[in-house]
Chain A
Amino acid sequence: MTASFQEDKFGLVRAAIDAAELVRLVREGQDGAIVTFDGFVRNESHGRETSYLEYEAYESMALGKMKEIAAQIHEKFAIHRVAIVHRLGRLEIGETSVFIAVSAPHRGAAFDACRFAIDTLKRTVPIWKKEFFADGAVWADGELPPTPPSAKSAS
C-alpha cells in the first residue's frame, strides 16, 4: 500500500465541519471505497433533554493523538488516506462534532479502519464534552485513556 501519511488530514476547528470537502480530500482514482463516520450532537443524554454541548481540547496533544491514530490504521489496514476533524466550542443539537473519512481500494479495510479510528479517538484523544441542560450542566462521563506502566518497571 502506498504510504500517504503526509496527505492525511487532521484538524480541530471552531466552525461547522465541511464533510463533503473531507470526502473529496481522501478520494482518488486508486480508491474503490470511502467509509465515513459522522458524529453529531444528540438531543438527549441519559433521558435528559440536552440544550447544547461544549467541547474543549488539549489541542497540541489532541492533534498528536489523531496523527497516531492515522499511523495505526495505515499500519493495520490496507487503506489509502484518512481525514479526522473534531469541532470545539459550543455545538447545537444535530451539529457534527467529529467527522472521519477513510478511503481504500476495497470496502473492508475502509470499514474496519473507520471503526477503529472513532473507537480509538474516543478513548485516547484529549477532548472533553460538557452537556448543558435546561437546569444545569455536567461533564460527560468519558473514558480513562490507557497509560504506560510505571516508570520503574519500564526502565
Chain B
Amino acid sequence: MASVVPSMRVKVLFFGRLRELTGLAEEAGDLPEGTTLAQVFERYAERYPKLAGFRNSMVVSRNQEFAAWDTRVAAGDEIAFLPPVSGG
C-alpha cells in the first residue's frame, strides 16, 4: 500500500496583473508536503493557462519575503505571486 503524502494548508495571494488574469486575489489551498514554490505556480498555471507566460517576469514571496522558486513550502505559509513592482 503506497503511503499517502500528508497535505498542508497554505494561503496564496495574487497581485496586479496576475490578480486580474486569474480573477483571484487570495485563496486557501491544500498542498502535498514538500511542494516547492515553482510547483505551486505550476498548479495555478494549469488552472489559468495564461499565467504560464508570466513565469519569467514575476517573483514569488513566502511569508512576506522574496523567495527562490525551489524553496519548499511549509504548513501555514503565505505565498504571493508578484508582478514587477511599480510603486513611487
Contacts and interface: CB of A to CB of B under 8 A. Distances in A.
B13 interface: yes
B51 interface: no
Contacts of A147: 59-60, 66-68
Contacts of A148: 66-68
Interface string B5-36: 00000000101110000000000000000000
Residue with the greatest number of chain B CB neighbours at <10 A, chosen from A123, A127, A144: A144
Given A39-B88, A55-B87, A126-B85, A61 B61 contact: yes
A151 interface: yes
A143 B85 contact: yes
Interface residues of A, number: 38
A126 B61 contact: yes
A144 B82 CA distance: 9
Contacts of B61: 58, 61, 126
B86 interface: yes
Interface SS, A side: mixed
A58 to B, nearest CB: 6
Interface of B: 13, 15-17, 57-61, 64-72, 80, 82-88
Contacts of B70: 150-152
Contacts of B85: 122-128, 142-145
Interface of A: 39, 55-58, 60-62, 64, 86, 97-98, 118, 121-130, 139-152, 154
Contacts of A118: 88
Contacts of A57: 87
Contacts of B87: 55, 57, 62, 86, 97-98, 121-122, 125-129
Contacts of A143: 84-86
A144 to B, nearest CB: 5
Nearest to B82: A126
A64 B66 contact: no
Nearest to B88: A122
B19 to A, nearest CB: 8
Contacts of B60: 147
Given A58-B80, A140-B86, A142-B86, 19 more contacts: A56-B15, A56-B16, A61-B61, A61-B64, A61-B65, A62-B87, A121-B88, A127-B85, A128-B16, A128-B83, A130-B16, A139-B83, A139-B86, A141-B86, A148-B66, A148-B68, A150-B68, A150-B69, A151-B71
